[in-house]
């Protein structure tokens, strides 16, 4: 019996999931959630549809897994960026810069988030995206608290909401406009944020 082709190498489950998530992120970003089929993702990976269902259960489950990975990646990137920062201000600067750089290096993640939010404004994907925002808000509030020890927690949460919202808007703006690199976008945000916090701190010190 003549062998007509070599057997395909077996891929372990973790590696297969990574391959599926990579492909799904790209397809969701390109086509949007509603226009994406499990068949199109399976074709991109080079597997059958049952393999996708075995790993993620449904198209919605696959989308949520993509968002969950983006959430973990973002936290890891920002946490690594601030680990060696020189003081609280530099922590915030490094964290914001790492977000913009992550978008530059992996634009499909940002496109996935934008498409998921636009495709189903009331769906579970949007709730998952809010989880990312909550995660980053809590992380940033902690950094800002180091800058202003003793500051009201609610005020710190409000500042962190401003940072998260402004960072997203800057990301959208620079994507449309072009010509704004991660360093410059970070400086724009820090000019606004840190100058304002600095003035407040000076007023508080003068009142004591």
- Express each pLDDT in 128-160 by its tens digit: 888 888 988 998 888 888 767 777 889 889 988
CB 68 within 8 Å of CB 56: no
Residue-wise pLDDT for 71-99, tens only, equals: 888 889 988 998 888 877 888 899 999 99
d(CA 156, CA 141): 5
Alpha helices in the chain (DSSP H): 13-31, 38-45, 49-56, 59-82, 88-105, 107-119, 124-147, 153-177, 182-207
Helix, coil or strand: residue 139: helix
Count helices and strands (H / E) in the chain: 9, 0
Which of 92, 99, 202 lies closest to 156, judged by CA? Answer: 92
Give the CA radius of gyration of the chain. Answer: 21
Q: What is the pLDDT of residue 42?
A: 97
Count of other CB atoms within 10 angstroms of residue 5: 5
Q: What is the pLDDT of residue 208?
A: 53
pLDDT more than 90, % of the chain: 33
Mean pLDDT (the chain) is: 83
Whole-prediction pTM: 0.75
- The pLDDT assigned to 126 comes to 80
pLDDT of 200:
53
Assigned token pair, 5: 């082709």
Q: Which pLDDT score, from 0 to 100, does residue 140 have?
A: 87
Supply the pLDDT for residue 83: 86
User: Is the pLDDT higher at 90 or at 115?
Assistant: 90
């Amino acid at each position: 019996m003549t062998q007509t082709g070599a057997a395909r190498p077996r891929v372990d489950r973790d590696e297969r999931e990574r391959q599926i998530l990579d492909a799904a992120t790209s397809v969701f970003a390109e086509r949007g959630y509603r226009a994406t089929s499990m068949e199109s993702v399976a074709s991109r990976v080079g597997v059958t549809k049952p393999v996708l269902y075995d790993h993620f259960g449904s198209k919605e489950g696959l989308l949520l897994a993509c968002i969950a990975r983006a959430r973990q990646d973002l936290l890891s990137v920002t946490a690594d960026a601030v680990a060696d920062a020189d003081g609280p201000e530099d922590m915030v600067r490094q964290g914001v810069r790492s977000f913009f750089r992550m978008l530059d290096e992996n634009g499909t993640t940002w496109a996935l988030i934008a498409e998921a939010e636009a495709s189903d404004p009331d769906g579970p994907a949007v709730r998952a995206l809010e989880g990312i925002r909550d995660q980053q808000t809590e992380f940033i509030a902690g950094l800002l608290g180091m800058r202003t020890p003793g500051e009201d927690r609610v005020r710190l949460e409000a500042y962190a909401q401003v940072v998260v919202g402004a960072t997203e808007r800057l990301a959208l703006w620079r994507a449309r406009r072009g010509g704004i690199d991660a360093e410059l976008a970070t400086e724009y945000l820090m000019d606004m944020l840190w100058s304002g916090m600095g003035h407040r701190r000076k007023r508080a010190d003068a009142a004591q």
